[in-house]
Chains A and B, each alone.
Chain A
Amino acid sequence: MDTAPLIVFDKVWKTYGQGEAEVRALAGIDLAIGQGEFVAIMGPSGSGKSTAMNIVGCLDTPTSGRYGFMGTDAGRLDRNRRAVLRNLYIGFVFQGYNLLPRTTAAENVELPLIYRGVAAHERRALAMKALAEVGLEGREHHTPAELSGGQQQRVAIARAIVTRPTLLVADEPTGNLDTARSHEIMQLLTSLNQDAGLTIVMVTHEADIAAYAGRTIAFRDGHIASDTKKREAA
């Protein structure tokens, strides 16, 4: 690896519940993801992939072990500090799009900028630019109900990239889309990774979607079962 790792898991454990009912979601994970990588995380449900993704996205913290993000000990930060970290460096794309209903595309995209304290006119300009990047010119004032699933996911991606994050965390981004739409979204993510150098960590259970990523990590029972890098296509 020739870049300093962006994400470092050092013997990360995550357990839920106590005593008999204790569930081990992650059992001592060691992992490093470098800047600019496009990583797909795969695995059956209960394998710990969602937990890993939540920790990567600074939404959750390990029970033990160290989670380092951009050189900070992100696993030890309180929730408000992690909120700042998310706001500044991480964008999220979810399976169910998670747009605010009855709120226009532009307003949805502006949302993270509000929490950054960006002025209204600047916010609007940045949102317009992000929407243009995902190919949604002319749809800025549509509400989610007026947009197709693919378009909604593009709005969600625009919202994730409007802050120019270092890391994009995508949780089954194509899970609700048909094949054609899925591939469009994946092409968009791939170009963000290749052209803008955005690091992407994506959870999926579809092999053809994972194939877009440069590296695929498979989880099983809280362990990493495999970690394979695609050979560089010249």
Chain B
Amino acid sequence: MIWETVRLALRSVRRNALRSFLTLLGIVIGVAAVIAMLTIGSGTTEKVKADISQLGSNLLIVRAGRPAAPGSGPQQTIRQFGDKEVAALTAHLEGVRAVSPASQKQVRVVFGTESLTSSITGTDNAYLDARDWKVASGRSFSESEVRGGVNVCLIGETVRQQFFGSGDPDGAAIRIGRVSCKVIGLLEPKGYSGFGQDQDNVVLMPLQAFQRRIAGNRDIDNIYVAADDATPTQVVQTRIEDIMRDVRRVTADREDDFAVRDMTQIADAMASATATMTGMLGAVAGVSLLVGGIGIMNIMLVSVTERTREIGIRLAIGAHEKHILIQFLVEATVLSLLGGLIGIAIGLALAGAASLALSIPFAPSLAVVLLAVGFSALIGMVFGFFPALRGARLDPIEALRHE
């Protein structure tokens, strides 16, 4: 009986294919939006999680300048880090795996006729350790290169592809700004970060070489600290703050003129931003579903009116009110369920395309898909009920007379 009714409903939907499709559009768009948003959202969350583990969830970044507080005015001149901060942290900080200075600048890099603006980082081998980054081919810096500030560099995958395609960059001389620099190694690819940055568009060189030839000063922008697995980052953070206050002579009555940031904090903030975004777009999708539901109600009222005579025939030959009610309810449900399924397909396709474009993982969730199926069926039932009831309550004599 139910199968019979479903077949009947499908036939009726097919007969008015264009009308059905237009009616479905609201549901399709709503469901597609929900599916796409939730899938992209969970993909982003996964990406953020992956980034944290890639960065090393125990990574701390020390930066010059006051910790950013909401509502704080413009900062006074920032006292940059120098060698003494790095030396102090290296010497006295316990429970860490690596301490590494890093200064960055966006500089145009040229090789042959190709050029690319890349993030040039002056640092040392500990940076690779802190960021858990491996050299894919070639070698890392030698002791003497770091100490002497030799013009050698490690390049990221994006830089390699721009200049060398899939070829071996080892030994080539690229120009960074005005400086010629010998490539000694290739970093393994890291992909985009959850913040949308291409992490492979980088060139690493010894800090001294960077300071002298690229930056033109002896400032150190950041100090990367990786806590070892046995020590919680909070403990390391406190220790860093103590050492830094001491070395920078920040007395107890003054505010810190540096900030220590924990990667997990950043990731948490990012994840909650994503959740807010998903929630808002979900609300928009909800409105679309409501509109879609009203569309279904409208078309079902039209359908009941058009088929008044058919209802009359069915009632005359012995259909119960409930038979008619179920028939139209099933039709509305089939209609909206169809919209839901199309919406799911489109939503997943959109999320797939987005995950390719943003290089985030494609993370479809069965629960979300089932929820969308259930929800669209529910919409059909809720919005189909009134028209169906109207059909079921028709007087058979009147209905048979209807032209």
Contact = CB atoms under 8 A, between A and B. Distances in A.
Contact of A112 (B1, B318, B322, B400): B318
Contact of A84 (B309, B310, B318, B400): B318
Interface residues of B, number: 20
Nearest to B316: A92
B92 interface: no
A199 to B, nearest CB: 17
B314 interface: yes
Interface in A157-176: 159, 163
Interface residues of A, number: 27
Interface in B292-317: 309-310, 312-317
Interface string A66-97: 00000000000001100110111001101000
A86 B315 CA distance: 9
B318 A83 contact: yes
Contact of B319 (A59, A100, A115): A115
A111 B1 contact: no
A116 interface: yes
Chain B contact residues: helix, strand, loop or mixed: helix
B323 A115 contact: yes
A59 B397 contact: yes
Nearest to B12: A102
A86 B317 contact: yes
Contacts of A92: 316-317
A88 B319 CA distance: 11
B321 interface: yes
Interface string B368-400: 000000000000000000000000000011001
B318 A87 contact: yes
B313 A88 contact: no
B2 to A, nearest CB: 11
Contacts of B321: 79-80, 83
Contacts of B316: 57, 59, 86, 92, 98
A94 B401 CA distance: 11
A111 B310 CA distance: 11
Nearest to B396: A59
Interface string A91-129: 110100011101000000001101111001000000000
Given A100-B310, A100-B313, A114 B320 contact: no
Contacts of B254: none
A98 B4 contact: no
Interface of A: 54, 57, 59-60, 79-80, 83-84, 86-88, 91-92, 94, 98-100, 102, 111-112, 114-117, 120, 159, 163
Interface of B: 1, 4, 15, 309-310, 312-323, 396-397, 400
Closest 5 CB pairs of A and B: A87-B318, A112-B317, A86-B318, A115-B318, A98-B313
27 contacts: A59-B316, A79-B321, A80-B321, A83-B315, A83-B319, A83-B321, A86-B316, A86-B317, A87-B317, A88-B318, A91-B317, A92-B317, A98-B309, A98-B312, A98-B316, A98-B400, A100-B310, A111-B313, A112-B317, A114-B4, A115-B317, A115-B319, A115-B320, A115-B323, A117-B1, A120-B4, A159-B317
